[in-house]
Structure 1
Amino acid sequence: MLHLELEPVTVGTSGLGKRPGADLALATAILSSTFHQADTSNNYADGESERLLGEAIRGIGGLPEERVVFSKGDQDPVTGAFTGDRMRRSFEESTERLGLETLPLYHLHDPYTISVTDAMAPGGAVDALIRLREQGRIGAIGIAAGRRELVEEYVRTDVFDAVLTHNRYTVVDRSAERILDLATERGMTVFNAAPFGAGILAGDNFRGRTYGYSEPSAEFLAHVDRFRALCAEWGVEPATAALHFSLRDPRIHSTVVGVNSTERLAELERHVQASVDVEFWAALDALGTPPAPPTD
């Protein structure tokens, strides 16, 4: 368990670094917003997300005591190596970019190039994270990945303090149900990322008919349409309903929502503050079990 009192919403920063000139202002806005938690990664925009957050932190005179930044350790961008040495270098790169000596949470991120056995081996990536935690450089270690069965396997090792699942538990997708249960049984901190399914549930931020960056079935899209029609019937914005679906689950400690502009940051504040009639959830349940999503 992460020894930190978490807020319900964490701002995701995977979009930072893709708009030269505009993203520093967004990074500064995130650090000045009503949201006190930001989530980044060593490999987001080839390190630009961390660099911009670090520049913004220096620009406001240091990270305020009430604010925290979480990051993730990634494979070598050239060789794909995910060794213990690489994990230590990843951490040093992250802290150098951010200008922070310690981090409250550092995840093993998308370990797709190695087996769980290799990751857990003495001197491996997870061992490196454990040693950094023992040294006080990291407050807690987590596993953050998309592939559901892989995440479940890591959770079952009983080594991690936290887990981050994304695009697997939304208002139209319950495939991460087992991850949430396994983590809760172990007293882990749970982050649920991408409650908008990478855009399809985001109302005015609707980006097309993909879900979790994959092409869904006609059956899945029909269910999404029924959800959107239900929202229209109840006068609830789809993004508000999608966010509050995650916020109301007691197994989830914080919901990670990515923002790619100051306008989206303001929208997020509005969605958080909005209220959803309790009877709406009963109407949502009446839609039935969502069909299989296009993710694993």
Structure 2
Amino acid sequence: MKYRQLGRSALKVSELCLGTMNFGPQTSEPDSFAILDAAVDAGINFIDTANQYGGRLGVGATETLLGRWLAKDPARRDRLVLATKVHEPMSDDVNDRGLSARHIQAACEASLRRLGVDHIDLYQMHHIDRTAPIEEIWQAMDRLIAQGKITYVGSSNFPGWAIARANEKAGAAQRLGLVSEQSLYNLIERRAELEVIPACQAYGVGVITWSPLAGGLLAGPASEGAGRRASEDALTSAAAREAQLARFHALCDQLGQSPSAVALAWLLHQPGITATIIGPRSLHQLSSVLHVPALALLKETLARIEDIFPGCGPAPEAYAW
């Protein structure tokens, strides 16, 4: 496993971040525990979750599952960078959502209880809250940092302007500010290159990519007969990109690598990227990509991938002229 600094912080995280959204609703607790054990054994030290994850089991179920896994071996907690999120609705209560100072404080306390830990390493805002003044948000985050309940603050699904605003406010108050942004970014969805990634690079914010396989579209044909790749929407999307995906699969065959591995490796070759989230539903899916950090793509290969999946180009030139 290889490690990178999380943005301008001194914290080092594995290039592969274990995403846990499937744990509980899609992957059973024993299988989830086996994946977590194998990931840690492979050197992954970065685990990402969210307070809302739980699907049919209810919000908070995934954090609770992680808490039971952590309790099995309390010593492992100190070796891990544990990240969770706040913003999404946790109940029907009008105040049990968003980024008010009140909700941030209450949601953090609830996440700590479910996870069974005394602090969260990276506390991420799951989405922007247009009703919450940035001063109120930093007031809440500063309090949690002072209380020792969180260590770093990150964002997720933020536009470039919100990243800039948050860190300008933080910098004016001599705070560290955001150290990471978790963003949708993959070979098919590259709009983050226009404003989000440049903003992150300018402010020393590390980018953690989610949906690196475009919901399974970049993983190749659905071989297991289940999951998102076998859904009607996924099959329709794959059919619409049949020629493009065929070119990509042919390139991967020439490289002797799976489409999933190449798509993940491509992300780790892009400027500003700290880590990419993998969300395996099985041990096989995990083991099939553990070699990705060691997979070096030649300039020629990167150029061929760029030809298959062209990006938007730099902003503002991409849309101004």
- TM-score scaled by length of structure 1: 0.82
Whether 1:251 and 2:272 are equivalent positions in the alignment is yes
Mark the CA change 1:275 to 1:205 in structure 2 (over 3 Å): closer, same or farther.
farther
Provide the secondary structure at the position in 2 that maps to 1:286: helix
Q: Retained in 2: the 8 A contact 1:103–1:139?
A: yes
For residue 100 of structure 1, what is the aligned residue in structure 2? Answer: 117
Q: Contact 1:191 / 1:255 at 8 angstroms: preserved in 2? A: yes
User: Per-residue displacement from partner, 1:188-241 (whole Å, max 9, x unpaired)?
Assistant: 122122211121112366743889989759765543333223223443321111
**How big is the alpha-carbon RMSD for the aligned residues of Structure 1 and Structure 2?**
3.0
Q: Does 1:208 align with 2:229?
A: yes
Distance 1:204 1:33 in 2: 27
The 1:98/1:235 distance shift into structure 2, 3 A limit, reads same
Paired residue for 2:65?
A: 52
Counterpart Cα distance in 1 of 2:29 and 2:41: 18
Q: CA deviation at 1:264?
A: 1.6
Contact 1:69 1:104 in 2 (8 A): yes
Tell me the SS of whatever aligns to 1:199: helix
- Percentage of identical aligned residues: 23
Check 1:212–1:185 CA distance in 2 against 1; reply closer, same or farther (3 A cut): farther
* 2:207/2:272 contact within 8 Å kept: yes
The change in CA–CA distance for 1:284 and 1:211 in structure 2 (over 3 A counts) is farther
Once the two structures are superposed, the pairs formed by residues 213-228 of structure 1 within 5 Å of their partners are 216=237, 220=241, 222-228=243-249
Instruction: Check whether the contact 2:23–2:29 (CA below 8 A) recurs between aligned residues.
Output: no
Which consecutive unaligned segments of at least 5 residues does structure 2 have?
A: 1-7, 171-176, 313-321
Counterparts of 2:235 and 2:105 in 1: how far apart (Å)? Answer: 32
Q: Which runs of 5+ in 1 are unaligned?
A: 292-296
Flag the structure with higher helix content: 2
Match of 2:145 in 1: 133
| Letter of the structure 2 residue corresponding to residue 8 of structure 1 | E
- 1:73 and 2:86 correspond: yes
Mapping of residues 6-85 of structure 1, within 5 Å:
6-18=13-25, 19-22=27-30, 23-45=32-54, 46-79=59-92, 81-82=97-98, 83-85=100-102
- Residue 120 of structure 1 aligns with which residue? 133
In structure 2, which of residues 181, 186, 189 is the aligned counterpart of residue 164 of structure 1?
A: 181
* Residue aligned with 1:65, SS: helix
Q: Deviations over 1:235-254 (max 9, x none)?
A: 33211110111111231111
Match in the other structure for 1:176:
192
Offset, 1:78: 1.7
Provide the C-alpha distance between the structure 1 equivalents of 2:76 and 2:68, rounded to a whole number of angstroms. 11
Deviation at 1:64, TM superposition (A): 4.5
Q: 2:85 aligns to what SS in structure 1? A: strand
Alignment map for 1:256-275 (pairs within 5 Å): 256-275=277-296
CA distance in 2, matches of 1:264, 1:121: 40
Specify the code of the residue in structure 2 equivalent to 1:95: L
The 1:110/1:172 distance shift into structure 2, 3 A limit, reads same
Quick one: distance in 2 between partners of 1:209 and 1:223?
A: 19
Deviates more, 1:255-264 or 1:173-182: 255-264
Aligned length: 281
> How big is each residue's C-alpha offset from its partner over 1:61-111, in whole Å with a ceiling of 9 and x where there is no partner?
333533221111133322353222111111111111222211221001134
Distance 2:241 2:180 in 1: 26
Between 251-260 and 127-136, report the one with greater CA deviation: 127-136
Q: Which moves more between the two structures, 178-187 or 235-244?
A: 235-244
- Asked whether 1:230 is paired with 2:251, we answer yes
Using the TM superposition, name which of 8-17 and 169-178 deviates more.
Answer: 169-178
CA distance 1:274–1:121, shift in 2 (3 Å): closer
Q: Which residue number corresponds to residue 9 of structure 2?
A: 2
User: Of 129, 154, 158, which residue of structure 1 is paired with 2:162?
Assistant: 154
SS of the aligned residue for 2:12 comes to coil
